[in-house]
Amino acid sequence: MSEKTHPPAPDPAAMPWQAPKQRRRFAAPWRALLSTLLLVTHAAGAADMDYNRARMRMVAEQLSASTRGISNPAVLEAMATVPRHEFVPAQFRRYAYDDRPLPIGYAQTISQPYVVAFMTEKLEPQANERVLEIGTGSGYQAAILAGLVSAVYSIEIVEPLAVRAQGDLARLGYGNVSVRHGDGYLGWPEAAPFDAIIVTCAPDHVPQPLIDQLKEGGRMVIPVGELDDQNLYLLRKRGKALQREAILPVRFVPMTGTASRR
pLDDT digits (tens, 9 = 90+) for 10-58: 333 333 333 334 445 554 555 665 555 555 444 455 566 689 999 999 9
Q: What topology is assigned to 40-260 in CATH?
A: Rossmann fold (3.40.50)
Please tell me what DSSP assigns to residue 189: G
Q: 117: closest CA among 179, 149, 69?
A: 69
Q: What is the mean pLDDT of each run of 10 residues along the chain (262 residues)?
A: 38 36 51 56 58 95 93 97 96 96 95 97 98 98 98 98 98 97 97 98 96 97 91 94 93 91 75
CA distance 23 to 28: 15
Distance of CA 170 to the CA centre of its chain: 16
Distance of CA 79 to the CA centre of its chain: 11
Active site (catalytic) residues = 111
- Burial (Cβ within 10 Å: 0-12, 13-18, ≥19) of residue 250: buried
Check: CB of residue 89 under 8 Å from CB of residue 164: no
pTM: 0.83
Q: Do the strands 194-199 and 130-134 form a parallel or antiparallel pair, or are they unpaired? A: parallel
Check: CB of residue 255 under 8 Å from CB of residue 185: yes
